[in-house]
Structures are given as structure tokens and as C-alpha cells.
Amino acid sequence: MKTNRLHQYRTLLLSTLASLPVAAVGQDGGLPDNEVLKGLYPGETFSPYANRNFPSHVYWGDTHLHTGLSLDAGVFGNTLRPDDAYKLARGEQITSSTGLPVRLGRPLDWLVVTDHTDLMGIAPDIQKGTPNIMKIPDGKAWHEGFTKGGDAAGKAAFDLITKFSQGTLPEQIKEDYSPGSEVFMGVWEEIIDTAEKYNDPGKFTAFIGFEWTSVPKGFNLHR
């Protein structure tokens, strides 16, 4: 009988002791004292992301698009201009350089036309045979090659790109199609004006841009 009571007392005591830490953990520790916190960290506390709305929309566009104003695209048959590029990006139907109707399955939200700065605008001038092109033997030969088409056009394009890459272009060509010249500025103004024309805040963004490519001794490096 005494043994059973002793066992009961022990069980009760152990149960009581076991419950003490649980009760202690469950108690509210209260708020830390401000003076104590200031002493630990004297600077101003902040959360950089408080009261901010994180981006929740994806906007689709193209960061690398050439028109016929670029040397490479132009000499290989692209006759479209920035105006056509923005129309296509906004969801309109255009006619491709090969005469086919083209339209995107879904309009883009934004576009940057990045035509090459080097010799920007020379391709359409060669195709048209502008006076500044035709007075230079190389320019006249390129125009005749493009006009004939086929292998002749391919050879003319290869000759132009090779001389550009090797730095052997006629000086007048380099002068006419370099930044600061009257010809170049006319092309650059077209790019700016067209972007401004199609830029529609909140609906479509037209970025003003370009591509500069370093080609020392033919080694191509995009920027």
C-alpha cells in the first residue's frame, strides 16, 4: 500500500516538473526596450522593399532588330525601313522584302531598332544609285551589281563588306556615312522621328537605339 502511494507521489512530481519548461517557453517575453535596441544598433533601421509593389507583368519585345538601313541586312536584300519594323511590332500587316504579306501572331509590347552605326543608310543609297554613290567607281560598281541581282549582287555585297572589314573603303564613302556627316544625320533623324511616331506610352514603347560593332582587321565584336 505504501509502495503504491510512493509510486503515485513520484509520478505526480515528475509530471509537475516536466510541465514547468513548457509553461516557461509558452510565456510572452514582451517587447524589447527601445533604449536597449538603440545601444545595439545606433543606425536607422529600414526595409528596402517595404511598401513596394514588385513587377507582376511580363512585356515582350526585341532588343536586336535591323532594317534595310543596316549594311549587312541591306546588302542582302532587306528593303524595309524603321517605319515597317514598328508597324509589324505593333501588330499591323506589312509586305516583306520578298513581297509576301507578314503579320505577327501576337503584337510586341516594345521594340528597339538597332541598325548598325557604321555605314548606316548606305545600302538603300547604293540600290537607288544616289549621286554621292555613283560618282565613286566602287559605289557605281556596287549599284550595278545590286541592279543585276543574282551572283552579281552577291559579289557586290561581298566586296563591300570585305572592304569595310579591312578598312579599305573609299575615303568619301567613309566620310559620307560616318556620324556627323549630313547624309548620316539624315538617316539618324529618320530613326529618331520614326520611334517618336510609334511610341505610345502605356500601350507600346519604341526605344531609340543603334548597334555599334568594332571590326578591327575583320574581327567582329558586337556592342
What pLDDT score was predicted for residue 173?
Answer: 96
C-alpha cell at 118: 557604321
What pLDDT score was predicted for residue 23?
Answer: 47
Q: What type of residue is 139? A: G
What pLDDT score was predicted for residue 212?
Answer: 86
C-alpha cell at 7: 509510486
What pLDDT score was predicted for residue 165?
Answer: 86
Per-residue pLDDT of the chain (223 residues; tens, 9 = 90+): 555 555 555 555 455 555 555 444 555 666 777 777 666 766 676 777 777 777 778 899 999 999 999 999 999 999 999 999 999 999 999 999 999 999 999 999 999 999 999 999 999 999 999 999 999 999 999 999 999 999 999 999 999 999 998 889 999 999 999 988 999 999 999 999 999 999 999 999 999 999 987 666 666 666 5
C-alpha cell at 148: 543585276
User: What is the rounded CA–CA span in Å between residue 204 and residue 62?
Assistant: 12
pTM of the predicted model as reported, rounded to 2 decimal places: 0.72
User: What is the rounded CA–CA span in Å between residue 75 and residue 146?
Assistant: 8
DSSP 8-state secondary structure symbol assigned to residue 117: S
Q: Of 126, 119, 75, which Cα lies nearest the Cα of 97?
A: 75
User: What is the rounded CA–CA span in Å between residue 91 and residue 103?
Assistant: 7
Per the CB < 8 A criterion, the answer to whether 138 and 156 are in contact is no
What sign results for the dihedral spanned by CA atoms 157, 163, 166, 167?
negative
Beta pairing partners, 62: 111
Domain segments of the chain: what residues? 61-222
